[in-house]
Structure formats: structure tokens, C-alpha cells
Amino acid sequence: MNWKNKRGKISTFRYIIQLLFFFLIFYLSTIGVWKGVLLLIVFGMTLFLGRFFCGWLCPFGLYMDTITLLRKHLKIPYWSLPQKINHLLHIIRYSVVFMIFLLVLLIFLSSVSFFELSNFIWLRPPFLPYLFFLEPLQTIVLPWKPPFGALFEISGIYFTYPYVGEILMYLQKSWFALPLAVIFVGVTLGASFKVRRFWCRFCPTGISFAAINRVKRFRVLPFLGLSKDGEKCTKCGICKRVCPVQVTEIYEKKTGKIATSMCVLCLRCVEMCPQRNCLSLKLANRVIWNPE
Ligand code: SF4
Ligand code: SF4
Ligand code: SF4
């Protein structure tokens, strides 16, 4: 089976959904939607639907998947990270998230007036560290000047990129703020060309509340996830090779629910598994999709 360059219907469908969400986010950013809503959507969705947001909706994920499409079109092979490093990066992200929460908590505890509390709710200074979590939703073009700056402007259209606003904001007085932002764009796009979903290995927004299911009471969460029928598996290894974030549990698990917070639910493994009904997508223990 030529699994390397084969593109299934589900991958095409997923790409269309990613594009539609990109335009929705662009529209929401033009009408100035409250960013707290977006934060609640991302984290609420992750709690109940696992990392569906990462696989199907995230704009930064769309940029990286587009780079991957280009690489495939050019028939250039990708690199896989060593498994130990891949897992280590996944764990490091939790420390980054912990530090962001700690920072915001410290700022919150040092705030006393209602005015500052409203700043917390509206994600205004000094509570800006929260905005790190929303950076992957940054659309690359904007019809107005972003508050923290942009890479460049052409006829009133501003071009930016995830985290560029943060870099420019925190280093605004430094001469190297813009060069650093450009380097960040170059490195992440360049690396995504060879390492699939490169930034997803570092991204703090992609942390999964699936970890909460280690607590007995919450074991049912997230409701959406993959399942494997071990009796049908021939151990061909295709599932772990096609996985863009190098999840190995899908291959290693003998049977039942695949509970890993690394999985972005892109369903690439499900559509490429050559064994019928071996892998499936389940919602609250009911199969909602497995390939024909
Ligand atoms: S890990 Fe981050 S960049 Fe990757 S898809 Fe999830 S939110 Fe987007
Ligand atoms: S789950 Fe499917 S793709 Fe993965 S090893 Fe088993 S048969 Fe192969
Ligand atoms: S395990 Fe399957 S669904 Fe999860 S990220 Fe990898 S390929 Fe996508």
C-alpha cells in the first residue's frame, strides 16, 4: 500500500474545515470579539473533545499542514524526531503552561482594585501572559494594525504571524525585536517543512486536559477519542508512520481506548490503517466513524 503520499477523503475534509475556521477567526478578529470567549472555546473544547481543536481548527496547525502539503507535492521526505525528544518536548510544554498560570496568578493576587479585576476578565495589561495561549489563532493578514505591531504592511493590509505580536510587545524598545520576529517565522516555517507539525511539539496551547482523566472520577473525559480493535491489527506500523505528531501509542496499545494527550485527532491513522474496522473514532464510547 502506498501510504506515504496517499491522501484520503478525511484529510481533504479536515483541510476544508481548517480553512473555514481560519476565515471565521479572521471575521471574529475584525469585529473585535472578546478574547476570553476564544480562550474558553479552546480549553473547554479540549476538556470534552480532546485535541480536536488542534487537529481540525487551529490556524497555526493549518499553516503547518499547508507547508506539509507543499513538501509532499515536491516529493521531499520528512524527518522524524527521536521518540525520547518528542516525549520530552511534550512534557516541557506542561512546565511552560504551569509558569504562565503561575505568572498570571501572581499578578492577580497582587491586584486589589475592581479596575484590575476587569483587566483580568478583558485580558488587558497586566494580564497579557494569557494571550500566549491565543497566539496560534493569529490570522496572517489583518485589515487593521494589530495592537502589538505587525511584520509589514501593504496598502492598509497588515501581515503578521503567531507570536509575532508577543515578540514585538515584550521587546518593543529593542532594535532586534523585528529581526527576531522574522527569524521566528523563518525557523518555524522552515522546520515545519521537514518536521510535520513542528510547532505543535512546543506549543503551550496544545496542552491537553485529557490528563484530568487520570483522576478516577473524570476518567470518561475527553468524550471524543480513538479506539483500537487489537484482534484486527496486523502490526504493519502504518499508523505510527503517518501520524504527524509521532504518536506511538496507536501502534503499541493492544486494544481499547487510545488515551494519549499527544494525539491531535487528525484521523490520519484511522483513514490509512489497511485493516477494516481496526481503528475507529468514538464519542462517549459510541463509534461515530471508521473507514469503509
Ligand atoms: S499544538 Fe498549538 S499550534 Fe499546534 S494545533 Fe494545537 S494550538 Fe495549534
Ligand atoms: S492499527 Fe492498523 S495501521 Fe496500525 S499497525 Fe495495526 S493494522 Fe497497521
Ligand atoms: S494518533 Fe492518529 S489521530 Fe492521533 S494525531 Fe496521530 S495520526 Fe492523528
Nearest CA to ligand 3 atom 8: 266
Q: What is the pLDDT of residue 120?
A: 65
Ligand 3 binding pocket (C-beta < 6 A) is: 226, 242-243, 245, 247, 250, 263-269
Nearest CA to ligand 1 atom 4: 200
Q: Ligand 1 center to residue 52 CA distance, Å?
A: 10
The finding on whether 239 has its CB within 6 A of some atom of ligand 2 is yes
Q: What is the pLDDT of residue 46?
A: 85
Nearest ligand 3 atom to alpha carbon 262: 5
Q: What is the pLDDT of residue 113?
A: 58
| Nearest ligand for residue 248 CA | 3
Q: What is the pLDDT of residue 119?
A: 67
Ranges assigned E (strand) in the chain: 141-142, 152-154, 157-159, 224-228, 256-258, 279-283, 286-289
Ligand 1 binding pocket (C-beta < 6 A) is: 54, 58, 60-61, 136, 199-200, 203, 205-206
Q: What is the pLDDT of residue 136?
A: 92
Residue from 269, 272, 273 to probe ligand 3 pocket by mutation (most atoms less than 8 Å from CB):
269
Q: Ligand 2 center to residue 53 CA distance, Å?
A: 25
Q: How far apart are CA 66 and CA 63, in angstroms?
A: 5
Cβ 244 vs Cβ 199: under 8 Å: no
Q: What is the pLDDT of residue 216?
A: 62
Which region, left, alpha or beta, applies to residue 287 given φ > 0 means left and ψ of -120 to 50 means alpha? Answer: beta
Q: What is the pLDDT of residue 127?
A: 66
The finding on whether 235 has its CB within 6 A of some atom of ligand 2 is yes
Nearest ligand 3 atom to alpha carbon 249: 1
Name 21's Cβ contacts closer than 8 Å, sequence gap at least 6. 56, 57, 59, 62
Q: Ligand 1 center to residue 135 CA distance, Å?
A: 9
Four-CA torsion 43, 47, 50, 51, nearest 10 degrees = 10
Q: What is the pLDDT of residue 185?
A: 95
Nearest CA to ligand 2 atom 1: 233
The finding on whether 290 has its CB within 6 A of some atom of ligand 2 is no
Q: Ligand 1 center to residue 200 CA distance, Å?
A: 5
- Going by C-alpha positions, the residue among 132, 131, 156 that lies closest to residue 142 is 156
Mean pLDDT for back-to-back runs of 10 residues, the chain (292 residues): 68 96 88 76 85 94 96 93 91 83 75 61 69 88 82 90 89 87 95 95 76 61 90 94 94 88 92 93 88 72
Cα–Cα–Cα angle for 180, 183, 187, rounded to 5 degrees: 140
